[in-house]
Amino acid sequence: MSPVSSKKTTSDKQMPVSKKLKLGILFSGIILLAEFIGALVSNSLALLSDAGHVLTDVLALSLSYFALMQAKRPSNFKMTFGYHRIGVLVAILNSVSLIGIAVFIFYESFQRFQNPPEINAGLVLPVALLGLATNLTVALILHHEQKENLNIKSAFWHAAGDALASVGVIISAVVIIISGNYLADIVVSIIIGLIISLGGVNIFRQGLRVILEASPKDINLNQLADSVKTIPGVKDFHHIHIWSISPEIHALSAHVLIDDCPVSQADDIRQHIETILKESFALSHVTLQMECRVCRTNDILCQLEIEQKPHLHKHH
């Protein structure tokens, strides 16, 4: 169960989120360029892997910014749910690119393991230090917002993970300078590759859950139904659909069985249910069908079937 997050962000008087994201993209873009050139000149795969990781950060930050802008677009007659899922689609594409980068790192590590090339660790060290400083700055900029917005949260953890990867590159550079063992570069590359692929798989699964209309992970449907059934006047709660329009917007539709009573009284019950669903289960879009007779589909779940004659529009 997740607490409701409808309260205004406390950072309204500070820099807006979109500006923070733009700043993060700028910083990450600069370090991406520095690490990429540094990796080519020094021949360090660890630094190139780190550059690959920073590239994923730039993608993640850009995605968060894009999703933020798309989410602001109003709904219209063609898109009654608005444009929230465009961000989800881009996230899935982004995750596939993360996995691709990881595969490249593993392949290159394997090639280098058989024949470790010489690396200019003296150049790797300052570039990695610069990367660490920049990633810590980006993580710090996003730190406040990451509790409020799932998209920003993923961008924050990208930056935090990359700071960690920079530490790995620094360690490998120091090991090479002290011992001259170039294998350290490969070991760190593989670790960074693992971090990238884990992030990719995680984002892919999360995006897929939204596309497949999965129930939000942190909502227990039995617990939810029980909470609603304890509300005075509610005799049954069934035909429940729960889905996510985006990772942050959860929706529910359901049937509510009540006594035959004035509409005003039914409306009070409906409001009570909506309040519980919003405050205890973070369901921001709720549609309820009030009933006073046991209905045809009174199972807790709805079994969707393709109508034989779709032109009749008979579906619930």
Binding site for Zn ion (CB under 5 A): 239, 255, 291, 295, 302, 316
**What is the torsion angle, in degrees rounded to the nearest 10, for the CA atoms of residue 193, residue 199, residue 202 and residue 207?**
-120
* Nearest to Zn ion of 158, 250 (CB atom): 250
Residue 254 corresponds to which tokens in the numbers above? 């359901």
Asked whether the beta carbons of 166 and 52 are under 8 A apart, the reply is no
The answer for residues whose C-beta is within 8 angstroms of residue 80's C-beta and 6 or more apart is none
Asked whether the beta carbons of 35 and 50 are under 8 A apart, the reply is yes
* Nearest to Zn ion of 178, 292 (CB atom): 292
Strands 236-246 and 283-291, how do they pair?
A: unpaired
* Nearest to Zn ion of 250, 255 (CB atom): 255
* Nearest to Zn ion of 25, 256 (CB atom): 256
* Nearest to Zn ion of 248, 291 (CB atom): 291
Residue 199's alpha-carbon distances to 101, 102, 174, 193, 203, in angstroms, are: 12, 10, 27, 10, 6
Least Å distance, CB 85 to Zn ion, is 16
* Nearest to Zn ion of 181, 287 (CB atom): 287
Least Å distance, CB 290 to Zn ion, is 9
Least Å distance, CB 134 to Zn ion, is 42
Q: How many Å apart are CA 102 and CA 195, to the nearest integer?
A: 9
Least Å distance, CB 145 to Zn ion, is 26
Least Å distance, CB 285 to Zn ion, is 5
Asked whether the beta carbons of 170 and 125 are under 8 A apart, the reply is yes
Least Å distance, CB 315 to Zn ion, is 7
